[in-house]
Every structure is written in C-alpha cells, then in structure tokens.
C-alpha cells in the first residue's frame, strides 16, 4: 500500500455514507485523475476500521491479473479469494477491461458478504448492459482532476496568485506532485497521458480507423474552448481545410472523446423557454494542463483557459453545468445543485465600460433572485454591481460553492 497517499476529502466524504451498503460503488473519470488512489484510500479505511475484513484487490493494469479477462474469470477469482466467515471488500481498478463484467458483479452482489468498489475510465460502463443488469444496484462518483485547493495541498503551495497561475498552466493531474513545475517536463508528461487516453480509451476501444482526423478534432476542440459547436459547423470547417468528413462521423468521434472523459460536452439552455437547445453545445477539457500541452499555453488564450478552469471548479463541486441563453445574450454557465442555481460570467479583464455593460448586463436581464457572479483577473474589491458579485479568479477558486 502507498503510504504517501494524500486523502482527497472532497470525494471520500461523498463515498463514505455508502461504505458497507449493498450497492456497487463506481468511480469514473479520465485516466490519471486519481481514481486508483481514492480506491486505495478506501481500502486503507476499510482495513483500519475492520482489521478482520478480507480485502480482494484487482488491478487490470497489473500483469498479475491479466488472466481475468471475462465475467467468468472475475467471478472465479473472487470466489477463490472469498472468506465466507468475514466481510469481503472487493476493489477492482479499470473494470471496463473485463468483458461482460456486469454479469459477475450482479451475481456477487447477491451475497451480503461482499462490499464492492470499482473504477472505470469510460462513460460507457454506466450505460447499455450495465444499466440494464445493475439498474438501482450501483451508484456513480465522478472523479475530477485536482481542484485548486487540492493542487495547493498536493504541491504544498501558498494560496496566492503565483500558485494559481501554475495551476491554470499545468492543470491538476495528481502525479504532477512528483515532478518539478517546469513547462517542458510537465508538458512532456501530459502529452504522454493524452496519447495513452487516445490510444487505449478511444482508438482501441472504438476501433478508430481515421486516427488523423481524431487527433485534428481534439486539437480543434482545444483551440476553440468556449465556442458553440455543431457537427455541421465542424464538418464545414474541416472541408475548408480539405478534409471531407460527414457530420455523422464528427458526432461519433465527439462522443468517443467525451466517453473517455477527455472533454465534457455542455449543452445550451434557454433560460426563458426552459428547454435544452439541440445544437450549439460547448466543449471543455477535463484537465486544462492536457489542453495546454496539446496546443501550447499562450497569453492570447487566457480567456478560454479561465473559462475552462471555472467550468472545472463547478464540476469539482458537483454542479450540473449548462450554457445559458436568453434571447441573443449568452450566460457562460448556469450551475445547478440540489435545486439551487448560480449564474457565472467569465471575462479576462473588465477593461472598459462596454465590457462591464456586456458582462454584468447579460446577468441583469435574468429575472430571478439566484446568485449572479462575474469572474475576471481584475483585482478590484468593493461593492456589487447592482447586486451582481465580482470575483477575481483566485477568489472564485476559493469560493465556498
């Protein structure tokens, strides 16, 4: 067991109420965001609370478990390791590598001696067969890369602007704590993670043939964070670059990137009409460091980067996030949780009256009393603007959501 595990209290507190319950606890998220270490943290807690518990651990990235390829293999291995007179805690890392694993889990769940946890790096594990066979018997916990406060803790950094600038440049993959925060070193590591995700979770899993287009699509998304998309729009752009791809294939490849958790698809919501638009969604990267390593980190992109960082902060705190639309005006984010909303606009600098009128004015048009916030890099501290809060990005990343 790794004695250097830094507890991620944000997630452990969410999972803890379900420990010992006869539900399958599924930790999902992009590769290398820390699912395995949260799983190990749960194992440590189980051993500490019940030293007599029998721990059954399977890591599908470890060659010693290469023989577990199917549901039958999984069931057989667990039964061989089971001690009927004790509580048996099962921890399976990267379960999507086991064919038809849902059949084994359904069978094992029938026996109350088992407490089951697993991780997965593909959104498809919670759809299709799993949803059919384990409906009502599992609960998902989405694991994100480090929040800003977690980044500070992992790197032992002060809560100040310089640390924030490192965070928005390098992102929040936990392993970075073992590396010097140097751009060449970090970006080489992040490019390796990106290549692993693309190859193992997209190209191999979905048998992608047109890998060049897939790579170009990822770069296109990285360069157009915060822009409204449609498959037709992307297809037309690619045709202008002498790459003929049908809109249906664009949709399919976008789905693959989202299923691997490399990017998040964010729909547009009509605030007045209370409906989701079918076109014009936006895409944000799970980890801003991977985005920066993919197409470089430059000042001209600071607005896009800030928007992605704000989106990630909201997702880390379990908000359901949509892009707002009211008439011809856009609200960057409508974030909802437990029946409550907050509206957030993101702007690099509030440098003139026109910018101030646009960013605050769009929020003023919303006719409800939920909190409304503008986030920028400005250091201004003072009164609200007609009741609308302004936060510097550093303050927002410390904002209690």
Shared-domain flag, residues 217 and 342? yes
Q: Which segments of 82-229 does DSSP mark as H helices, in order?
A: 101-109, 129-133, 148-155, 161-170, 183-196, 211-223
The model's pLDDT over 178-201, given as tens digits with 9 standing for 90+, comes to 999 999 999 999 999 999 999 999
| pLDDT on residue 128 | 57
Instruction: Assess if residue 336 is contained within a domain.
Output: yes
List the domain range (segments joined by +) for residue 331: 148-397
| pLDDT on residue 270 | 78
Q: Is the pTM of this model over 0.75?
A: yes
DSSP codes of every residue in 335-380 = EEETTEEEEEEE-S---SHHHHHHHHHHHHT--S-S-EEEEES---
Position 274 confidence tier, pLDDT thresholds 50, 70, 90 = confident
* Phi and psi angles of residue 2, each rounded to the nearest 5 degrees, phi first: -80, 115
Instruction: Assess if residue 228 is contained within a domain.
Output: yes
Shared-domain flag, residues 291 and 263? yes
Position 1 confidence tier, pLDDT thresholds 50, 70, 90 = very low
Shared-domain flag, residues 249 and 392? yes
Shared-domain flag, residues 65 and 156? no
Shared-domain flag, residues 174 and 119? no
Average pLDDT over residues 13-23: 95
Shared-domain flag, residues 49 and 169? no
| pLDDT on residue 197 | 97
Shared-domain flag, residues 122 and 202? no
Position 129 confidence tier, pLDDT thresholds 50, 70, 90 = low
Instruction: Assess if residue 201 is contained within a domain.
Output: yes
Shared-domain flag, residues 178 and 305? yes
Instruction: Assess if residue 64 is contained within a domain.
Output: yes
pLDDT at 296 over 70: yes
Instruction: Assess if residue 373 is contained within a domain.
Output: yes
d(CA 298, CA 161): 17
Which contiguous run of DSSP H or E holds residue 79? helix 71-81
By mean pLDDT, which of 63-67, 130-134, 138-142, 297-301 is the weakest? 130-134
Instruction: Assess if residue 297 is contained within a domain.
Output: yes
Shared-domain flag, residues 183 and 212? yes
Give the total number of structural domains in the chain: 2
| pLDDT on residue 244 | 77
DSSP codes of every residue in 6-69 = PP-HHHHHHHGGGTTSSSEEEEE-STTSSHHHHHHHHHHHHHHH-TTPEEEEEETTSGGGTT--
| pLDDT on residue 315 | 98
Shared-domain flag, residues 130 and 158? no
Asked whether 195 and 187 are in contact (CB, 8 A), the reply is: no
CATH number for the domain that contains residue 110:
3.40.50.300
| pLDDT on residue 278 | 66
Instruction: Assess if residue 83 is contained within a domain.
Output: yes
- The two beta strands, 268-270 and 275-276, are antiparallel
The model's pLDDT over 239-270, given as tens digits with 9 standing for 90+, comes to 777 777 888 888 999 999 999 999 999 998 87
User: Which residue among 90, 108, 142 closes a domain?
Assistant: 142
| pLDDT on residue 50 | 92
- Report percent pLDDT > 90 for the chain: 78
| pLDDT on residue 127 | 66
| pLDDT on residue 298 | 94
Asked whether 355 and 374 are in contact (CB, 8 A), the reply is: no
User: Which residue among 116, 142, 168 closes a domain?
Assistant: 142
Other CB atoms within a 10 A radius of the CB of residue 118 amount to 25
Handedness of CA 265, 143, 24, 80 (dihedral sign): positive
Shared-domain flag, residues 171 and 125? no
d(CA 96, CA 348): 40
| pLDDT on residue 235 | 77
Instruction: Assess if residue 2 is contained within a domain.
Output: no
């Amino acid at each position: 067991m790794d004695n250097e595990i830094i507890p991620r209290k944000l997630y452990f507190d969410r999972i803890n109420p379900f420990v010992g319950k006869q539900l399958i606890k599924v930790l999902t998220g992009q590769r290398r965001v820390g699912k395995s270490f949260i799983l190990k943290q749960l194992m440590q807690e189980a051993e500490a609370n019940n030293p007599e518990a029998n721990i059954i651990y399977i890591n599908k990235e470890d060659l010693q478990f290469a023989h577990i390829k199917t549901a039958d293999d999984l069931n057989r291995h667990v039964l061989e390791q089971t001690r009927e007179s004790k509580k048996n805690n099962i921890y399976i890392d990267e379960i999507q590598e086991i064919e038809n694993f849902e059949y084994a889990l359904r069978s094992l769940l029938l026996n109350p001696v088992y407490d089951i946890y697993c991780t997965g790096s593909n959104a498809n594990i919670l759809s299709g067969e799993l949803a059919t066979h384990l409906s009502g018997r599992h609960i998902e916990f989405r694991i994100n890369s480090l929040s800003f406060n977690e980044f500070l803790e992992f790197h032992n950094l002060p809560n100040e602007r310089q640390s924030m600038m490192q965070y928005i440049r390098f992102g929040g993959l936990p392993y970075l704590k073992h590396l010097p925060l140097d751009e060449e070193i970090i970006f080489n590591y992040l490019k390796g993670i990106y290549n692993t995700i693309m190859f193992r979770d997209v190209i191999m899993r979905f048998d992608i043939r047109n890998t060049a287009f897939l790579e170009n699509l990822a770069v296109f998304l990285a360069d157009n964070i915060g822009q409204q998309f449609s498959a037709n729009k992307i297809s037309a752009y690619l045709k202008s670059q002498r790459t003929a791809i049908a809109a249906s294939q664009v949709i399919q490849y976008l789905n693959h990137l989202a299923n691997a958790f490399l990017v998040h698809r964010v729909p547009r919501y009509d605030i007045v009409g209370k409906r989701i638009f079918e076109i014009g969604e936006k895409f944000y990267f799970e980890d801003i460091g991977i985005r920066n390593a993919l197409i470089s980190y430059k000042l001209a992109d600071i607005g896009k980067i800030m928007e992605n960082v704000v989106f990630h902060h909201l997702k880390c705190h379990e908000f359901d996030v949509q892009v707002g639309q009211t008439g011809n005006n856009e609200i960057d984010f409508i974030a909802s949780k437990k029946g409550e909303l907050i509206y957030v606009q993101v702007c690099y600098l509030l440098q003139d009256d026109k910018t101030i009128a646009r960013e605050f004015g769009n929020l003023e048009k919303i006719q409800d009393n939920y909190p409304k916030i503008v986030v920028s890099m400005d250091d201004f501290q003072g009164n609200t603007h007609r009741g609308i809060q302004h936060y510097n990005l550093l303050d927002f990343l410390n904002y209690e959501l």
